[in-house]
Structure 1
């Protein structure tokens, strides 16, 4: 949902900037670049979320390993 809102806002802003420039080819380039930037930002956000989840999983595994090591060393 937020990705579509962000893409809509970027597209509207790029059209506004393109309208001021006066060139239709330039307007198309601005719109293409804005759309690509928004898609890249969405991809980066997804990768950051996946990395955060992996880091949390690794931290849990590390805590379990530390507990296992402490129990083994206590014997």
Structure 2
């Protein structure tokens, strides 16, 4: 019973560490992307 709980805990910790490592785009990144798109459209 203890091993099952420990395994589930370990899987939960691993899954949260992989999820938290994702790159999160900020509003500044979105604005920069729009500015780049506008510059490309003007050229």
TM-score of the aligned structures, taking structure 1 as reference length = 0.43
Displacement of 1:65 after TM fit? 2.9
Tell me how large the CA RMSD over aligned residues is: 2.1
TM-score of the aligned structures, taking structure 2 as reference length = 0.65
Residues paired across the two proteins, number = 40
Q: Indicate the residue corresponding to 2:2 in structure 1.
A: 31
Moved over 4 A (4+): none
Larger Rg: 1
Structure 2's unaligned 5+ residue stretches are: none
- The whole-number CA distance in structure 2 between the counterparts of 1:68 and 1:39 is 43
CA-to-partner distance for each residue in 1:19-65, whole Å, 9 max, x for gaps?
Answer: xxxxxxxxxxx0011000001001111111012xx1x14x82xx233
